[in-house]
Homo-oligomer: A and B are copies of this chain.
Amino acid sequence: MLVVKKFGGTSVGNKERIINVAKRCIEDYQKGNDVVVVLSAMGKMTDELIAKAKEINPNPSRREMDMLLTTGEQTSVSLMAMAMDALGVPAVSLNAFQVAMHTTSVYSNARIKRIDTDRIFNELEQRKIVIVTGFQGVDRFDNYTTLGRGGSDTTAVALAAALHADACEIYTDVDGVYTADPRKVPMAKKLSDITYDEMLEMATLGAGVLHNRSVELAKKHGVQLVVRSSLTTEEGTVVKENVRSRGSEISGVAGDDDAARIAILGVDDIPGVAFKIFNILARKNVNVDMILQSVGQGKNKKDISFTVKEEELDIAVKALEDNLSDGSYQDINVSSKIAKVSIIGAGLRNNFGMASRMFEALYKANVNIRMISTSEIRVTVLVNREDMEKAMIAAHEAFKM
C-alpha cells in the first residue's frame, strides 16, 4: 500500500515533535507500506521569514518572497530525514526541484500542473521513506513558486493523485472534522465521514480544517482523504465522494463572525447596475459574499444587499459613495457586527424542508434572521453577532447531530 501523509507546521515545530512524526511514519513503513511524507515549514518559520523580508523591503517582490519562503519546508524535510535515519530507517528528502513539482508562474498563489513521479518511485523502490516539501513548486522558467494558503494540503493531494496512492492522510492539531466548532457548540461531534462538497462548504464558511483547493483537487482526482490528529491515534474523518447514511441529514453547522452587511437602497432597476456596483468593489479588492437583490420601495427601483468582511467595510462604503453618481441610489445602509450561520449537508439537496426546520429552530431561540442565502447543500442566514452561538446551538440541536 502507498500512503501519503501530510503534517503541518505545528506537528514539526520542534525537535521532539519531529521525532514523534518520524516514529509515526516509521510505524506505517514497518507494516510494509510505501510511505511518502509531505511537510510544511516548522512552526512560525514562515511568519519569521516574512517579517525578516519586510524589514528589508516593506513590499518585497513575490518572486523573491517565494525564493525565501521555500527554505522553510526544505529545512523541515532535511531534519525529518535525519530523524528517521537516527531511528534506523532510510529516508530521503526532496524539494520542489527534485520532485519536479511543476506549477503555473503565479508567485505566492501558483497551481500545480504536473509532477514527475520517477524520482519518488525510484526512492520508494529502494525502500526509503520519501519526504517532500509541501507548499512549494517550480515554474517552467525554474523559478520557485508557492501554492498559497493551505498549500501543503494541496501538495499532498496532488502527490496522492500522481502516485495513485492508496491513502492520503492529513494530520492536524484536531482529530477530525466536527459537526460544529466545539468551542462554540459544546455538543458538537466528530464526523466519521463527509463528502467533498460538504467539506468544501465547511471550508468556505471558515469551519474547515482543510483548504478549499486541496478538497477540490481531491474531488477532481477521486483522492480519498483522512483528516486526523498528529497527537492521538484516533480514527479521524474520511472525506470522499459519497458517505453512508448517517443519523442526521446535516453534516455540520458553521459560524463566521467576521461579517458586515451593506444594503444599497433604491437603485434604478436597469441593466448593468449590479455590474457597476461590484466592479467598483472588485477594483478595491473587496471580497463580496452573499449577494441579494430584492424589489425596492420606489417605482422601478430595487435594493441590493451583500456582506463583506468587517475590516473591508469602510473601504467598501467609501468606494461606493465616491463612485456611484448621486441620483443613482437613494441610500446606503450599513450593519456591522453581524455573523453568518450555515447548515451544511448533502441531505439538503432536493429537501427544502430542512431550511424551514432551521428557521423554526432560530425562531424558537429568539434569533432574528437578517438575510438568507442558499446553495444546493447549504443554508446560510445572517444574524446579529451576539446571537451567533445561540443560533449555532439551536440549529445543531434541531438536526440531532
Chain A residues at the B interface, C-beta cutoff of 8 Å:
15, 18-19, 49, 52-53, 55-58, 60-61, 63-65, 67-68, 70-71, 74-75, 77-79, 81-83, 85-86, 92-93, 95, 97-98, 119, 142-143
Bound CA span A292–B97, Å: 51
Bound CA span A64–B83, Å: 10
Contact A119 B142 (CB under 8 A): yes
Nearest Cβ in chain B — how far from A282, in angstroms? 28
Contact A78 B67 (CB under 8 A): yes
Interface of A: prevailing SS? helix
Nearest Cβ in chain B — how far from A244, in angstroms? 43
Contact A81 B64 (CB under 8 A): yes
Contact B56 A79 (CB under 8 A): yes
Nearest Cβ in chain B — how far from A309, in angstroms? 29
Residues of B within 8 Å of A58, CB to CB, are 86
Residues of B within 8 Å of A63, CB to CB, are 92
Residues of B within 8 Å of A65, CB to CB, are 78, 82
- Choose one: B18, B71, B98, B142; the contact of A71 (CB below 8 Å): B71
Residues of B within 8 Å of A119, CB to CB, are 142
Contact B79 A142 (CB under 8 A): no
Bound CA span A86–B57, Å: 6
Bound CA span A367–B68, Å: 55
Contact B97 A82 (CB under 8 A): no
Contact B53 A142 (CB under 8 A): no
Bound CA span A97–B133, Å: 16
List 20 other contacts, CB 8 Å, given A15-B55, A15-B56, A64-B81.
A19-B56, A49-B75, A53-B78, A53-B79, A56-B82, A56-B86, A60-B85, A61-B81, A61-B82, A63-B92, A64-B85, A65-B82, A67-B93, A68-B74, A68-B79, A70-B74, A71-B71, A71-B75, A97-B142, A98-B142
Contact A64 B52 (CB under 8 A): no
Nearest Cβ in chain B — how far from A35, in angstroms? 17
Nearest Cβ in chain B — how far from A135, in angstroms? 14
- Choose one: B56, B78, B85; the contact of A18 (CB below 8 Å): B56
Bound CA span A97–B83, Å: 26
Nearest-CB residue, chain B, relative to A75: B71
- Choose one: B64, B74, B86, B143; the contact of A82 (CB below 8 Å): B64
Bound CA span A28–B151, Å: 40
Bound CA span A92–B98, Å: 21
Nearest Cβ in chain B — how far from A154, in angstroms? 22
Contact A75 B82 (CB under 8 A): no
Contact A57 B83 (CB under 8 A): yes
Bound CA span A92–B83, Å: 34
- Choose one: B56, B78, B86, B95; the contact of A83 (CB below 8 Å): B56
Nearest Cβ in chain B — how far from A371, in angstroms? 44
Bound CA span A68–B73, Å: 10
Nearest-CB residue, chain B, relative to A70: B74
Nearest-CB residue, chain B, relative to A53: B82
Bound CA span A64–B131, Å: 11
Nearest Cβ in chain B — how far from A6, in angstroms? 19
Residues of B within 8 Å of A81, CB to CB, are 61, 64, 67
Bound CA span A119–B58, Å: 28
Nearest Cβ in chain B — how far from A132, in angstroms? 12
17 contacting pairs across A/B (C-beta < 8 A): A15-B55, A18-B56, A19-B56, A53-B78, A56-B82, A60-B85, A64-B82, A64-B85, A65-B82, A67-B74, A67-B77, A67-B95, A68-B75, A68-B78, A71-B75, A97-B142, A98-B142
